[in-house]
Structure 1
């Protein structure tokens, strides 16, 4: 049973006249008759009763029409659905976000305001290669690949306003070697980077709490339960809520990381991905500049 046979049958059922149906299909009358005959042989039933001047649907024929109606409608709608799916796929940006997720989330919100038709799929998987853009972070590196952009970000030491360190203009990390640290969980790249800062300062951090959530880190530092590292601008929206936290420039060691934005060369010809890639870079730079202005206005640097 072939799709064309079913299509021919449905037209014949509509007209109940072989000649009119054949004319509608732009095929010869014998070709239509043979197609219906083969379909009847395959199904083992008569689909039409022949009469003078035309044909009428038999009981099995009427049943077949009712069964085929939703199927044929689905087939008729299929090209549009496939085109819509292809368009949606083209308008979807796949992100693998392993670092700076607050920054990326805020960037997505800003981009969606300008481009509401663009969709995003967001995963956090170090092993996944199924992405348009991947955002991760490492300790500073000297070189980058052709499909990467590196944004440098320094870290501050976040302390409660009630801490004796809160009035410092800057601090040497070794000065807080005995303090309790509130840190991100060790499944995040930021954790290994911050641990390395402490090792370079000559100590292993005394971890009093670790969390997967940036807000929890902020809240616990604000509550005076410990101190922690704070990236310069990628957590900026969280910093704005942190009225009980002071951010101290770290004099030594040099606490910085590289935020690495990598686009997948396989999808580099998608103009939507390219546009968001450029938007994200500019958004991060704007956040950095705004953070520096805010700190200058607050007299911290």
Structure 2
């Protein structure tokens, strides 16, 4: 009987937890979105986040991606156009410049993201459009790892301007790519607005405002 008496309270607690929980599926810009989550937690410490990075995950409230998926149960908005730099070692001859044509590094070794990820597929396409397939020597999704390997002279890499931010190393130089046009769109999608809680809508507005302020 005591257990039965506790059930209504447990159900109420579970409902309250669900109301305060935001499910984020982060398929792009994970470093930047993590920063946004931390800032929002400082503002609203009572909120809980469930984070995932699975393309096939359907159980989410908000998704961040560089690809729009055709699904009528959500609304999608382009909130950020992001330039992609080429990061080169500071002792590279290219480091004396501010701009580069991608064709000029056709013989270079590349440090890239996981080849199955959308960003890597996108950057490989840019290289192919310039007549070469990138020679990949290492794969990593960690900005610090990529930065350190470039600084050690292991190769060059594509560097998202906002997602990874300004690299903090005197051994690496970021170059604007003049050809081809190396930019991407970051999309934020959320489930049907009518079924969202005020807290989820508030976080969505907080995140999109943060991203729009970067431009």
Fold shared by both chains (TM-score > 0.5): yes
Q: Does 1:95 align with 2:24?
A: yes
What count of residue pairs does the alignment treat as equivalent? 212
Question: Quick one: distance in 2 between partners of 1:92 and 1:241?
Answer: 34
Alpha-carbon offset, residue 189 of structure 1: 1.3
Q: CA deviation at 1:207?
A: 0.7
Which SS does the other structure have where 1:147 is aligned? strand
Contact 2:27 2:53 in 1 (8 A): yes
Structure whose alpha-carbon radius of gyration is higher: 1
TM alignment of 1:24-43, pairs within 5 A: none
2:75 is the counterpart of 1:147: yes
Aligned to 1:245: 172
**Which is further off, 243-252 or 104-113?**
243-252
List alignment gaps of at least 5 residues for structure 1: 1-71, 290-301
**Greater helix share, structure number:** 1
Q: Which of 86, 108, 117 pairs up with 2:37?
A: 108
Equivalent in the alignment of 1:118: 47
Deviates most, 168-177 or 72-81: 72-81
Q: Indicate conservation of the 8 Å contact 1:156/1:249, yes or no.
A: yes
* CA offsets 1:261-283 (integer angstroms, 9 cap, x no match): 11011774311111111111122
Q: Is the 8 A contact 1:268 1:274 kept in 2?
A: no
2:161 pairs with 1:232: yes
Q: Gaps (5+ residues) in structure 2?
A: none
- The root-mean-square deviation of aligned C-alpha atoms, in Å, is 2.1
Q: Displacement of 1:213 after TM fit?
A: 2.8
CA distance in structure 2 between the partners assigned to 1:195 and 1:158 by the alignment: 15
1:273 alignment partner, one of 178, 194, 200: 200
**Distance between the aligned counterparts of 1:229 and 1:242, measured in 2?**
16
SS of the residue 2:66 aligns to: strand
CA distance in 2, matches of 1:211, 1:285: 27
Which structure has more strand as a fraction of its residues? Answer: 2
TM-score of the aligned structures, taking structure 1 as reference length: 0.66
Separation in 1, partners of 2:9, 2:176: 57
Give the alignment of 1:1-301 within 5 angstroms: 72-138=1-67, 147-150=75-78, 151-236=80-165, 239-265=166-192, 268-286=195-213, 288-289=214-215
Higher RCO, 1 vs 2 (CA within 8 Å, ≥6 residues apart): 2
